[in-house]
Amino acid sequence: MKKSIYILFASATLLSGTAFAVDDLALAKEKQCLSCHSVEKDKFGPSFQHIALKYKDRKDAEAVLEKQILNGSGRDHWGTKMPPAGDPGAARTRPDVTKTEAKQLVAWVLSQK
């Protein structure tokens, strides 16, 4: 009986973790992050793995990246600038991102090691 409960719990945990990862990727696609970024390879913007590596030891990584997602990079530190979300005057426009969505995206990006 205990073994069955552990197997059921482990299966549910794995499935929910997989669903969460799919939801994160779906959010990145919905917010057009993958237009400039990829998980593994640098494109117009750095790969998510490259970003995770750069910020892995920074205590302020979450706050810095959330601000960049919401407001754009504002400066050229990867060879290009990320425009602010929802800025119709930008050369590349991005959909609006809520603070909650930005937090979710940052957590996902930083997990891409």
CA atoms within 13 A on the CB side of 78: 20
On the CB side of 1, how many CA atoms lie within 13 Å of its CA?
Answer: 0
Q: How far is CA 39 from the centre of its chain?
A: 9
- pLDDT for 1 equals 52
By C-alpha distance, which of 44, 34, 46 is closest to 91?
44
Domains plus CATH for the chain?
2-110 (1.10.760.10)
- Say yes or no to pLDDT of 48 above 60: yes
In this predicted structure, what is the pLDDT of residue 54?
A: 94
pLDDT tens string 55-113? 999 999 999 999 999 988 877 677 788 888 777 776 667 889 999 999 999 999 999 98
Please state the rounded mean pLDDT for residues 17-38: 82
Mean pLDDT value across residues 36-55 = 94
Residue 34, pLDDT score = 93
Instruction: Give the pLDDT of residue 56.
Output: 94
Contacts of 48 (CB under 8 A, 6+ apart): 37, 38, 39, 40, 108, 109, 112
Q: How far apart are CA 49 and CA 2, in angstroms?
A: 39
For the entire predicted model, the pTM comes to 0.75
Q: What is the pLDDT of residue 22?
A: 65
Q: What is the pLDDT of residue 86?
A: 76
